[in-house]
Amino acid sequence: MKIPRFTGVTVRTARLEERALLEDIMRRASLVSDSYREQLQASPEEMSVPAELFAGGTVFVAELDGVIAGFCAVAMDDPRTAELDGLFVEPELWGEGVGRQLVEHGSAAARSLGAQTITVIAGPAARPFYERCGFAVEAAAVTKFGPAARMRRALGS
């Protein structure tokens, strides 16, 4: 396992006024991989964070020395299942532990809301990351942009 370079990462609830910054991170992170680049460039409106997620207090940012390094959003599918409805990290910080901290924080938030499992739809490039975070493929998924995997992780008590 790679030891993260950065240990000063803190995670907190995002604020609505940070929405544009988070969407910029989403855009940069999403366009790194060739998997969906053309489709995303043709549909830039897809790279947005819905305002209602902020109202629910389930968008979280990871900060590194006071600068936003990434974010995740959690949505409740039903009373027992949450969805990691997006996780994006500045590309130059990939592999440094920021994404894993966001997964853990989002999972803890979902557990506090009563969820027993958390799911995520992972594209081909993200699937190995989620597997390393304890998610297992549940089923194939088809997104607007192409094939993906629906993955699930038990949250425990």
pLDDT tens-digit series, residues 137-156: 999 998 877 889 999 999 97
Q: Which domains does the chain have, with CATH numbers?
A: 9-154 (3.40.630.30)
Residue 108, φ and ψ in degrees, nearest 5: -65, -40
HSE of 127, CA atoms in CB hemisphere, 13 A:
15
Q: 39-62 pLDDT, tens per residue? A: 655 665 666 788 888 888 999 999
pTM for the whole structure: 0.86
**Over the Cα atoms of the chain, what is R_g?**
15
Using CA atoms, how far apart are residues 71 and 88, in angstroms rounded to an integer?
A: 6
